Amino acid sequence: MVDVALHGGALASDKVTTRAKAIDRLRLGDAAFRHLTRAAAVGVLLLLSGVMISLFAGSLPAIRAFGFGFLASERWNPVTDKFGALPAIYGTLVTSAIAMLIAVPVGLMIAFFLTELCPQWLRRPIGIAVELLAGIPSIIYGIWGLFVFAPFLQQTLQPFLIGTLGNVPVIAPLFSGPPYGIGVLTSGLILAIMVLPFVTSISRDVFEAVPAVLKEAAYGVGCTTWEVARYVVLPYARVGVIGGVMLGLGRALGETMAVTFVIGNAHRISVSLLAPGTTISATIANEFTEAVGTLYTSALIELGLILFVITFIVLAAARYMLARIERRIG
- CA–CA distance, 255 with 104 (Å, rounded to integer): 17
- CA–CA distance, 270 with 176 (Å, rounded to integer): 10
Backbone φ and ψ for 175, nearest 5 degrees, come out as -125, 35
| Number of other CB atoms surrounding residue 73 within 10 Å | 15
Instruction: Supply the CATH classification number for the domain 67-329.
Output: 1.10.3720.10
Residues in Cβ contact with 6 at an 8 Å cutoff, skipping those fewer than 6 apart: none
The model's pLDDT over 196-246, given as tens digits with 9 standing for 90+, comes to 999 998 899 889 888 888 888 888 888 888 888 888 888 888 888 888 888
6 pLDDT exceeds 50?
Answer: no
The model's pLDDT over 26-57, given as tens digits with 9 standing for 90+, comes to 788 788 888 899 999 999 889 988 989 999 99
Can you tell me the mean pLDDT for 60-89?
89
More confident residue, 2 or 266: 266
The pTM is what? 0.86
C-alpha dihedral, 46 to 47 to 52 to 56, nearest 10°:
90
The model's pLDDT over 147-184, given as tens digits with 9 standing for 90+, comes to 999 999 999 999 999 988 888 888 888 998 888 899 99
C-alpha dihedral, 233 to 239 to 241 to 247, nearest 10°:
-170
Question: Is 274 strand, coil or helix?
Answer: coil
Please answer whether residues 250 and 242 qualify as being in contact, where contact means their C-beta atoms are separated by less than 8 angstroms: no
- CA–CA distance, 36 with 254 (Å, rounded to integer): 31
- CA–CA distance, 157 with 175 (Å, rounded to integer): 11
Helix (H) or strand (E) holding 83: strand 82-83
The answer to whether the Cα torsion of 125, 129, 135, 140 is positive or negative is positive
Backbone φ and ψ for 79, nearest 5 degrees, come out as -65, -45
- CA–CA distance, 71 with 59 (Å, rounded to integer): 13
Helix (H) or strand (E) holding 76: strand 76-77
pLDDT, residue 15, reads 66
The residue length of the chain stands at: 330
19 pLDDT exceeds 80?
Answer: no
**Alpha helices by DSSP H, the chain:** 2-66, 69-72, 86-112, 120-135, 138-144, 150-155, 157-164, 184-208, 212-220, 225-228, 234-254, 257-262, 280-287, 294-329
pLDDT, residue 11, reads 55
pLDDT, residue 3, reads 54
| Number of other CB atoms surrounding residue 273 within 10 Å | 24
pLDDT, residue 299, reads 92
Residues in Cβ contact with 281 at an 8 Å cutoff, skipping those fewer than 6 apart: 92, 254, 255, 256, 259, 260, 307
pLDDT band at 146 (very low <50, low <70, confident <90, very high): very high
Mean pLDDT of the chain: 86
Q: Which of 132-136, 142-146, 254-258 has the highest mean pLDDT?
A: 142-146
pLDDT, residue 2, reads 47
Domain boundaries defined on the chain: 1-66, 67-329
Q: Which residues, listed in sequence order, are joined to residue 264 by a DSSP beta bridge?
A: 277
